[in-house]
Amino acid sequence: MSETPTAMSQPPSERPEDDRLSVEEEIAEESAAPRRAGRWRWLIGIVVSVFFLWVAFRQVSDVGHLAEALGSANYLWLAPAVALYLLGLLVRSLRWHILLLPIARIPTASLFGILSIGFLVNNVLPARLGEIARAILVGRRHGISRSAALATIVVERIFDGVVMLLFLGVASATAGARVAPDWLEVLVPLTAAAFGGAGIALSGTSVVVLSILAWVKLRLARRLDSGALRGDGILSAAGAALAAAALLGLLLAEAFDWWWADPTAALIIAIALASEGVRARAAAAS
């Protein structure tokens, strides 16, 4: 008994013209869908930008004074200002690249774009939601754990706070009573107390959690004779040691008013992370 071949079983050259046209239309429709989605994203972006520009400009009470100020501005300083801002973003991207090396090797150029988006979100939305947006974006683009990415951002903020404390400490030690003594006497203790309390809580929690994880991983590695699990346990133990260094520096600063203690701990942590990044880079190259 002979069977009549169907259109799908025939070669493309022998299929009916209507079937070939329908397949070509489906392909064209699928290729046009991303273009339509891209146009919608551009349209939504323009609408959101216009809305926030309207919100910003409606707070300007004297538009004439604003126009006069813009007209008298020296725009020659705009180019170096933008260049220095971009250089700062590049340095931050390189720092984030080094912090992410134990997790994944992510190009600095990609991190530069993600960091720029995060700063944009910080300028538009409250509560520094751009930091969370950075963690989500880097996890989505490069397939890494978003919680791990967020942990590196927390480390960044700790470093930034320590540097600010270092600047305030140097200013209070060198300027003394010559430059705004009342301002320094109020701001330095408040900043140190706020940052120190949060840092002590975070560092103490990190020491406890990472120590427990290291102990569990190393014990399981001995039982299972797993080199990979042993390496992971050593990495957790190293993290606990770094957190202990940060905790010690913060405790010394809080208890004895040694403002240089936590910046010194931060330098030790930075050197350890940099050496770990160099070793990871060398291992990846080999």
Is residue 74 within 8 Å of residue 248, measured between CB atoms?
no
Interatomic CA distance for residues 176 and 185, integer angstroms: 10
Interatomic CA distance for residues 84 and 183, integer angstroms: 29
- Say whether both 45 and 103 belong to one domain: no
| Residue 243 exposed, middle or buried by CB count within 10 Å (0-12, 13-18, 19+) | buried
- Say whether both 184 and 269 belong to one domain: yes
Written as six digits, the tokens of 29 are 């429709």
Q: Which residues of the chain have pLDDT under 70?
A: 1-38, 127, 169, 172-173, 175-199, 259, 262, 266, 269-270, 273, 276-278, 280-281, 283-286
Q: Is 0.85 topped by the overall pTM?
A: no
- Amino acid 61: pLDDT: 76
- Say whether both 202 and 246 belong to one domain: yes
In a domain, 15, yes or no: no
- Say whether both 244 and 114 belong to one domain: no
- Say whether both 244 and 135 belong to one domain: no
Is residue 242 within 8 Å of residue 269, measured between CB atoms?
yes
- Amino acid 214: pLDDT: 84
In a domain, 9, yes or no: no
Q: Residue 4 carries which DSSP code?
A: P
Is residue 135 within 8 Å of residue 146, measured between CB atoms?
yes
- Say whether both 242 and 189 belong to one domain: yes
- Say whether both 131 and 172 belong to one domain: no
pLDDT tens digits, one per residue of 115-129: 999 998 888 777 678
CB pairs under 8 A, 24+ apart, for 103-112? 103/144, 103/145, 103/148, 103/149, 103/152, 104/142, 104/143, 104/144, 105/280, 105/281, 105/284, 106/138, 106/142, 106/144, 110/141, 110/142, 111/138
What are the C-alpha distances in Å from 46 to residues 35, 51, 156, 244? 17, 9, 32, 48
In whole numbers, what is the pLDDT of the chain averaged over residues?
Answer: 76
- Amino acid 155: pLDDT: 81
Range of the domain at 195: 147-286
- Our count of domains for the chain comes to 3
- Say whether both 41 and 95 belong to one domain: no
- Amino acid 284: pLDDT: 63
Interatomic CA distance for residues 210 and 207, integer angstroms: 5
- Amino acid 128: pLDDT: 77
Place of tokens 């300027």: 175
What are the C-alpha distances in Å from 208 to residues 3, 155, 236, 247, 273? 74, 17, 11, 11, 20
- Say whether both 128 and 156 belong to one domain: no
